[in-house]
Structure 1
Amino acid sequence: MCLIRKMVEQNLDIETTRNEDHYGAAIHHLSLLRNKRCLMAYMYNRAEVIQSFRWKVGPVLPHDIQEKLHFSEKEYFKNHSAAIKSYISEMDIDLTVDMVPPKDPYIQVRVLEDIGEVSLGDHSVSLTKNSLHFLRRTDAEQFISQGLMEEFLE
């Protein structure tokens, strides 16, 4: 505001006057905008890290992490955890379990012993010794655990 007051006192046109004060103010303003963008990016990144703590360490933060957080960040974590808990209770599914995706639903297996004709869901398969099959993992797991088949890894 000092720049505008100074220009008014000197009867200079605000729209057309370009002097060293104008350029200094423009550079200062652009620096402030850049600093604001940097701070906003930092805060966004920090919020993402705090959110990831909920999935990595659970609803209670370890003491060494809590020491490094500001009060407002602790509140943010608490509110984020409450939102996840509320969502999980509404959906009746625990999203915090099995963070690793399941293995491929189909696997290639080699039959180690003659099993014979077996009905698997909607179709039947003849499982003869040393034959290769592409089966659903859930169908093959019982035979693998009995030692009748093995997963065939190419």
Structure 2
Amino acid sequence: MADSVRQYGELATQLLIESRRSTATDFLLKYNDVLVRSILREQRQLEALIQDTLQIQDANGLGDDPHMPTILLYQTAILRNKRCLLAYHHHRLERLKDMFWSVGGALPLLLSTHSTSTGGSTSMNAPANSADVRSKLSPHEVDFLRSYSDSLLQFRSSVLATEEVDLFAPITRPPKDLHVLVRVIRDCGVIQTEVGAIDFRRGQRFLVRRADVEHLIVQGYLEEV
């Protein structure tokens, strides 16, 4: 019994170590479904042990129960596991939101392309890659990103309908000019601008209004010259 008790919480500690490694390397690791499920099984086991101990207490009918320290130990392990699970998932969701904004809110681009760095310092011009982003996510994380994107689009259409504000534009370096000279990195088709429709083909250069192509710069289709 003592050996098994000393092992409670070790799996949850592995989750925290994994999160720290992800932060240190600025790289999103694959969702550890096996480890999460193992911790949940441990939670159910601890809850069952508490119930068994409480039944012994009721059977004995003792006012000052000697099993209370055992119950407190199990409960402490349960609470610690919960905190570790919440910290792990919170860490991943925050990184997913950073990734979402790094591609200008283009969810299809995020789920279909690759990126060498998936943290807040992701290069604006390069989702280019070591592993498919979507393959690292759990189904619930994909659902979260879709819901997050839908909420932002709804906010954008309802609140900002009358304002010329690009919700997905980067704010780290505010633009100094209304127009910008850009070079096309990847074909992105015909885009409507204030001077008319422009067919952006790879290798071409254009002087356009920044507001018309800001999202394409963020998503890596264009780069400033």
Q: Give yes or no for TM over 0.5.
A: yes
| Residue from 90, 102, 105 that aligns with 2:174 | 102
The residue number in structure 2 matching 1:34 is 80
Q: CA deviation at 1:76?
A: 0.6
Partner AA of 2:84 in structure 1 = C
Distance 1:89 1:11, change over 3 A: closer
Distance, in Å, in 2 between the alignment partners of 1:79 and 1:27 is 39
Q: CA deviation at 1:10?
A: 2.3
Q: Which stretch shifts more, 55-64 or 25-34?
A: 55-64
Q: CA RMSD in A?
A: 2.0
Query: Is 1:59 equivalent to 2:107 in the alignment?
Result: yes
Q: CA deviation at 1:103?
A: 6.7
| Residue from 50, 53, 56 that aligns with 2:96 | 50
Q: Which runs of 4+ in 1 moved over 4 A?
A: none
Larger radius of gyration: 1
**More RCO (CA 8 Å, sep 6+):** 2
Give TM-score, length-normalised by structure 2: 0.40
Cα deviation code 1:17-56 (max 9, x no counterpart): 2x2x321221111111011011111111111111222211
Distance, in Å, in 2 between the alignment partners of 1:52 and 1:65 is 13
The residue number in structure 1 matching 2:148 is 80
Identity of aligned residues (%): 24
Distance, in Å, in 1 between the alignment partners of 2:88 and 2:156 is 29
Q: Higher strand share goes to which structure? A: 1
The residue number in structure 2 matching 1:12 is 62
Q: CA deviation at 1:7?
A: 2.3
Cα deviation code 1:124-149 (max 9, x no counterpart): xxxxxxxxxxxxxxxxxxxxxxxxxx
Q: CA deviation at 1:11?
A: 2.9
Q: CA deviation at 1:9?
A: 2.2
Q: CA deviation at 1:8?
A: 2.6
Number of aligned residue pairs: give it: 100
The residue number in structure 1 matching 2:139 is 71
Distance, in Å, in 1 between the alignment partners of 2:77 and 2:93 is 24
Distance, in Å, in 2 between the alignment partners of 1:27 and 1:59 is 44
Distance, in Å, in 2 between the alignment partners of 1:6 and 1:54 is 52
Cα deviation code 1:64-103 (max 9, x no counterpart): 1111101111011011011111212220322112432427
Give 5+ residue unaligned stretches, structure 1.
105-154
Secondary structure of residue in 1 paired with 2:61: coil
Give TM-score, length-normalised by structure 1: 0.57
